[in-house]
């Protein structure tokens, strides 16, 4: 059974399934909010465990999220400068700040209808992005805007792909990450695997293991370099699907 959130709107008690792919905690209390909500107000409500179901303009909600992030960054820098610089305290403070930041940014909620459309002004059509993560089930739900922005970003990465020069010589030089799979935007570790010396005694039946393969990029580089057999593993089913799709390309 999916978790259900409840709120009061137009003097009526309402509810909807709760879904957070990132694992955000189901809010205990939800209020209706819109374009008149400020970043400070959202931060204050979030600190009390209250989430805001957005009924205003979608683009205004995105701008509000950016304003919240800026305020959190400013506050965290100020707090950090006042902390003692002991390693244990720094680590504890860092974890607390990240957790609180995630909770606050998850406080703005977006409703979805049964058709995966967002019933808000200037809302984009994100049906394909949602289907890639959630599947074809058409049940309406409510999700944090921070989750949704991650879905949209991942959808664009998966559609356009990321060019990787280390794959030169293969049929495709682009990697297409799925949602929740680390995109290969850093090139230092890729260059390391692409350029590191391989043993002179390596035979055509040699075997290499790519543990936590993700997109399958490092496995593809090892294949390009002549390793006879590469065994790529990952604990995440979506990573395995992602790597398989990239190898098929």
Per the prediction, the chain carries an average pLDDT of 91
Query: Is 145 in the same domain as 23?
Result: yes
Q: Please write the tens of the pLDDT for every residue from 58-74.
A: 999 999 999 999 999 88
| Nearest-angstrom CA–CA distance, 90 and 67 | 26
Is residue 52 assigned to a domain?
yes
Is residue 156 assigned to a domain?
no
Is residue 155 assigned to a domain?
no
Is residue 104 assigned to a domain?
yes
Is residue 166 assigned to a domain?
yes
Q: What is the pLDDT of residue 54?
A: 99
Alpha helix ranges (H) inside the chain: 39-47, 58-81, 87-105, 127-134, 145-160, 188-195, 217-224, 237-248
Is residue 120 assigned to a domain?
yes
**Overall average pLDDT of the 203-217 stretch:** 91
For CA atoms 159, 122, 9, 46, give the dihedral sign. positive
Is residue 181 assigned to a domain?
yes
Domain count, the chain: 2
Q: What is the pLDDT of residue 50?
A: 98
Query: Is 130 in the same domain as 185?
Result: no
Domain interval for residue 140? 4-150
Contacts of 143 (CB under 8 A, 6+ apart): 18, 19, 20, 21, 109, 110, 112
Q: What is the pLDDT of residue 171?
A: 77
Query: Is 145 in the same domain as 25?
Result: yes
The phi, psi pair for 159, rounded to 5°, reads -75, -45
Q: Please write the tens of the pLDDT for every residue from 150-181.
A: 999 999 999 999 999 888 877 789 999 999 99
Q: Please write the tens of the pLDDT for every residue from 113-161.
A: 999 999 999 999 999 999 999 987 778 999 999 999 999 999 999 999 9
Q: What is the pLDDT of residue 68?
A: 97
Has residue 83 got a pLDDT over 60? no
Predicted structure pTM score: 0.85
Tokens encoding 178: 């799925």
| Nearest-angstrom CA–CA distance, 112 and 9 | 16
Query: Is 49 in the same domain as 132?
Result: yes
Query: Is 166 in the same domain as 141?
Result: no
76 by Cβ neighbours in 10 Å (0-12 / 13-18 / 19+) ranks as middle
Q: What is the pLDDT of residue 129?
A: 96
Q: Please report, in angstroms and rounded to a whole number, the separation of the first and last CA atoms in the chain.
A: 37
């Amino acid at each position: 059974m999916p978790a259900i959130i409840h709120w009061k709107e137009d003097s009526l008690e309402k509810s909807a399934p709760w879904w957070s792919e990132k694992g955000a905690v189901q809010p205990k209390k939800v209020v209706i909010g819109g374009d008149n909500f400020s970043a400070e107000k959202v931060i204050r409500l979030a600190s009390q465990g209250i989430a805001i179901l957005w009924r205003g303009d979608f683009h205004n909600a995105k701008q509000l999220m950016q304003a919240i992030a800026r305020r959190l960054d400013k506050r965290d820098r100020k707090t950090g400068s006042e902390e003692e610089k002991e390693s244990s305290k720094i680590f504890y403070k860092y974890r607390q700040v990240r957790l609180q930041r995630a909770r606050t940014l998850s406080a703005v909620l977006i409703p979805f209808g049964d058709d995966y459309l967002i019933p808000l002004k200037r809302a984009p059509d994100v049906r394909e992005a949602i289907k890639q993560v959630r599947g074809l089930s058409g049940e309406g739900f409510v999700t944090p805007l921070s989750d949704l922005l991650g879905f949209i970003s991942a959808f664009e990465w998966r559609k356009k792909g990321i060019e990787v020069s280390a794959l030169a010589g293969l049929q495709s030089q682009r990697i297409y990450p799925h949602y929740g799979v680390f995109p290969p935007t850093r090139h230092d570790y890729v260059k390391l695997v692409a350029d590191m010396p391989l043993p002179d005694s390596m035979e055509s039946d040699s075997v290499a293991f790519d543990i936590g393969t993700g997109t399958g990029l490092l496995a593809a580089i090892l294949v390009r370099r002549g390793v006879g057999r590469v065994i790529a593993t990952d604990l995440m089913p979506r990573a395995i699907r992602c790597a398989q799709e990239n190898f098929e390309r």
